[in-house]
């Protein structure tokens, strides 16, 4: 496992580095990436042997506290805020690196990305389906299913390549087109719903674990946390209800659940109180 200096010049082992991700090109080796929202998510990902995680800015500190071995990418513009200016984007990127991120992920233009790369920020770009631009393409759908649309995606890939991006996430791109793009770009490719022919394969942890209102068609569910959390909430409500009932019935707290004092000390205390009246 490679050992690296992080942005704060602290030494840590990492499952992956920028160099090892780039070295995936031309090999059959694949890395796996999932999302992480907490230290617990990071602990679980590391225990599962996952190499890479993506985290929102608000979660990067916690995720890094959960694991020093994961390669953490901060999704800097996937937040419910107005889009950042280029200068704000750079400041946010540096802050994320200070908080423990190894790289940042952004859907921004190659011109904006170049400013980050020029300042030494490793960037994962994004092509294919872009959630904030779903209205432009007519809704939530797969992209690159026609030669013309795939050619537009390929042009975006080449421009990101020229901007110095080390890897590119390809979201909901038609699998045969993804295969050809991966063969032709020097960047590592990450597939999110874009078929198996990429260097990195990823899914949302919530989809993998069956925790959410909607599971997309490209995801595979391996657990049913919705059902488990429903049972947990039922148990929580039952326990709270029983506690309240015991309080009202006078059965809580019992002597065993209260702090005792010797009778002689109680009598002395009462005597002291009486003298103060």
Rounded Cα distance, 223 and 164, in Å: 38
CA atoms within 13 A on the CB side of 64: 23
Contact yes or no for 16/52 (Cβ under 8 A): yes
Annotated catalytic residue within 80, 119, 171, 262: 171
- At residue 120, the 3 state secondary structure works out as coil
Say whether 119 is catalytic.
Answer: no
Contact yes or no for 182/166 (Cβ under 8 A): no
- Residue 211's alpha-carbon distances to 18, 55, 67, 216, 218, in angstroms, are 31, 17, 22, 12, 15
Active site residues: 171
């Amino acid at each position: 496992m490679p050992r690296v200096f992080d942005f704060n010049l602290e030494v840590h082992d990492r499952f992956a580095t920028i160099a090892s991700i780039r070295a995936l090109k031309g090999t059959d080796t694949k890395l796996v990436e999932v999302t992480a929202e907490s230290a617990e998510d990071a602990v679980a990902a590391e225990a599962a042997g996952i190499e890479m995680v993506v985290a929102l800015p608000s979660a990067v500190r916690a995720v890094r506290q959960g694991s020093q071995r994961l390669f953490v990418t901060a999704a800097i513009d996937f937040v419910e805020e107005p889009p950042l200016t280029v200068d704000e984007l750079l400041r946010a990127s540096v802050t994320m690196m200070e908080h423990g991120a190894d790289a940042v992920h952004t859907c921004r233009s190659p011109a904006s990305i170049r400013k980050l790369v020029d300042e030494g920020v490793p960037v994962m770009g994004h092509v294919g389906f872009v959630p904030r631009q779903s209205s432009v393409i007519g809704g939530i759908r797969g992209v690159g299913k026609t030669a013309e649309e795939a050619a537009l995606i390929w042009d975006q890939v080449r421009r990101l390549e020229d901007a110095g991006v080390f890897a590119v996430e390809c979201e909901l791109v038609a699998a045969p087109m993804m295969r050809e793009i991966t063969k032709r770009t020097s960047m590592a490719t990450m597939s999110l719903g874009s078929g198996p022919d990429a260097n990195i394969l990823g899914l949302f942890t919530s989809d993998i674990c069956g925790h959410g209102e909607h599971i997309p068609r490209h995801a595979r569910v391996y657990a049913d946390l919705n059902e488990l959390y429903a049972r947990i909430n039922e148990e929580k409500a039952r326990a709270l209800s029983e506690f309240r009932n015991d309080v009202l019935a006078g059965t809580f707290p019992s002597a065993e659940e209260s702090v005792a004092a010797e009778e002689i000390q109680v009598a002395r205390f009462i005597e002291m109180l009486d003298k103060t009246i």
